[in-house]
Amino acid sequence: MEGNQKLKIAVLMGGLSGERKVSLKSGQAVLEALASLGHDTLACDVTEPSLAALRQADPDVAFVALHGAFGEDGQLQCMLESAGIPYTGSGPEASRLAMDKLASKRAFIRHAIPTADYFAIGPAQSMGSISSQAHRFGYPLVCKPAASGSSLGVSIVHKPHALAEAVARARRESDMVLVERYVRGRELTVGVLDGEALPIVELIVGREFFDYEAKYEDQNTRYVTPVSLLPTIYRKATEAALRAYRALGCRHMARVDMLYGYDGRLYVLEANTIPGLTSRSLLPMAAAQVGISFPALCDTIAQAAVRDAAQAARRRRLTA
Answer yes or no: is pLDDT of 94 > 60: yes
Q: What is the pLDDT of residue 317?
A: 87
Q: What is the pLDDT of residue 48?
A: 86
Q: Which whole number is the average pLDDT over 64-68?
A: 94
With a CB cutoff of 8 Å and minimum separation 6, the contacts of 316 are none
Answer yes or no: is pLDDT of 218 > 70: no
Answer yes or no: is pLDDT of 282 > 60: yes
The total domain count for the chain is 2
Q: What is the pLDDT of residue 99?
A: 94
pLDDT tens-digit series, residues 27-43: 999 999 999 999 999 99
Q: What is the pLDDT of residue 53?
A: 84
131 plus 177 within the same structural domain:
yes
58 assigned to some structural domain: no
Which residues span the domain enclosing 176? 118-181
Q: Which whole number is the average pLDDT over 120-133?
A: 95
301 assigned to some structural domain: no
Q: What are phi and psi of 7, to 5 degrees?
A: -125, 155
Q: What is the pLDDT of residue 214?
A: 46
Q: Which whole number is the average pLDDT over 180-205?
A: 96
Q: CA 82 to CA 244: how far, in whole Å?
A: 27
171 plus 228 within the same structural domain:
no
45 assigned to some structural domain: no
Q: Which whole number is the average pLDDT over 291-303?
A: 97
Q: What is the pLDDT of residue 70?
A: 92
Nearest to 184 by CA among 251, 276, 265, 278: 265
260 plus 213 within the same structural domain:
yes
With a CB cutoff of 8 Å and minimum separation 6, the contacts of 3 are none
144 plus 208 within the same structural domain:
no
188 plus 263 within the same structural domain:
yes
Answer yes or no: is pLDDT of 4 > 90: no
Run of H or E including 231: helix 231-248
Query: Global pTM?
Result: 0.92
216 plus 242 within the same structural domain:
yes
153 plus 207 within the same structural domain:
no
233 plus 106 within the same structural domain:
yes
**Residues pairing with 204 in the sheet:** 222
pLDDT more than 90, % of the chain? 81
Q: Which whole number is the average pLDDT over 129-135?
A: 96
Give the neighbor-by-neighbor strand order of the sheet with 253-261: 222-224, 196-204, 185-193, 253-261, 266-272
What average pLDDT is seen over the chain?
Answer: 92
Answer yes or no: is pLDDT of 207 > 80: no
314 vs 233 pLDDT, higher one: 233
pLDDT tens-digit series, residues 164-184: 999 999 999 889 999 999 999
Q: What is the pLDDT of residue 2?
A: 44
Q: Which whole number is the average pLDDT over 115-132?
A: 95
Q: Which residues are catalytic?
A: 19, 150, 216, 255, 257, 270, 272, 276
CATH number for the domain that contains residue 230: 3.30.470.20
Answer yes or no: is pLDDT of 216 > 70: no
3-state helix, strand, coil in the chain (%, to 5): 40, 25, 35
278 plus 161 within the same structural domain:
no
